[in-house]
Amino acid sequence: MTRKLYILNGANLNMLGLREPQLYGTTTLADIEQNCLKLAATLEFDCVFRQTNSESELVDWIQEAFLQDAALILNPAGFSFGRIPVLDAVKLLVRPVVELHITNIHRRSEEYRHSTISVAATAVICGAGANGYLLAIRAIDDLWNAPR
């Protein structure tokens, strides 16, 4: 059986490396994707890596992950804060879900501190920078057979 892993990224993450480098660093999303695909292959995951600025497209991809019996790493970005359709889609998943944030959202201004997605996540990683993606893949590998 092939283990499937979706790594989905929300709004504005396509601008990593350019957008607020003092917060997000200079690593691009393409760099992150390359590192993720390499580690995922090493851990024997069939990995899908995507980014969208559209909430409806993100919901469609999360539903696709559910239908593929995949685990999910989700950096919801701006879709973290009050986005019920994304939350409802995440609740469908049976496999582990890691919510990921490049920055430590708990150290940021109030509007960035409370992710609605966290209540449906198996685990949350925040503040580890771009390396958080690799930590999340390793967490998914460890959690694969754990009940959600």
pTM, to two decimals: 0.93
Residue 101 designated active-site: yes
Most confident range (mean pLDDT) of 7-21, 96-110, 112-126 is 7-21
* pLDDT for position 50: 98
The helix/strand/coil state of 8 is strand
What average pLDDT does this structure show over 57-68?
98
* Domain assignment of residue 148, yes or no: no
| Catalytic-role residue among 101, 106, 112, 114 | 101
* Domain assignment of residue 81, yes or no: yes
Is there a binding annotation on residue 75? Answer: yes
What average pLDDT does this structure show over 107-124?
78
* Domain assignment of residue 83, yes or no: yes
| Catalytic-role residue among 24, 106, 112, 133 | 24
CATH label of the domain that carries residue 86: 3.40.50.9100
* Domain assignment of residue 120, yes or no: yes
Tell me which H or E stretch contains 75: strand 71-77
pLDDT top residue among 147 and 78: 78
* Total domains in the fold of the chain: 1
Worst-scoring range by mean pLDDT, 33-42, 51-60, 98-107, 119-128? 98-107
Which residue range is the domain that position 76 belongs to?
3-143
110 pLDDT tier (thresholds 50, 70, 90): low
pLDDT top residue among 35 and 77: 35
Q: Confirm if 13 and 77 have CB atoms less than 8 A apart.
A: yes
pLDDT top residue among 110 and 70: 70
Worst-scoring range by mean pLDDT, 100-104, 120-124, 130-134? 100-104
**The pLDDT of residue 12 is above 70:** yes
Beta bridge partners of 9: 51, 75
**Where are the strands (E) in 16-70, listed by range?**
45-51
Is there a binding annotation on residue 131? Answer: no
Residue 114 designated active-site: no
82 sits in the region (left: phi over 0; alpha: psi -120 to 50; else beta) called left
92 pLDDT tier (thresholds 50, 70, 90): very high
What the block records as the tokens of 83 is: 């986005």
Is there a binding annotation on residue 102? Answer: yes
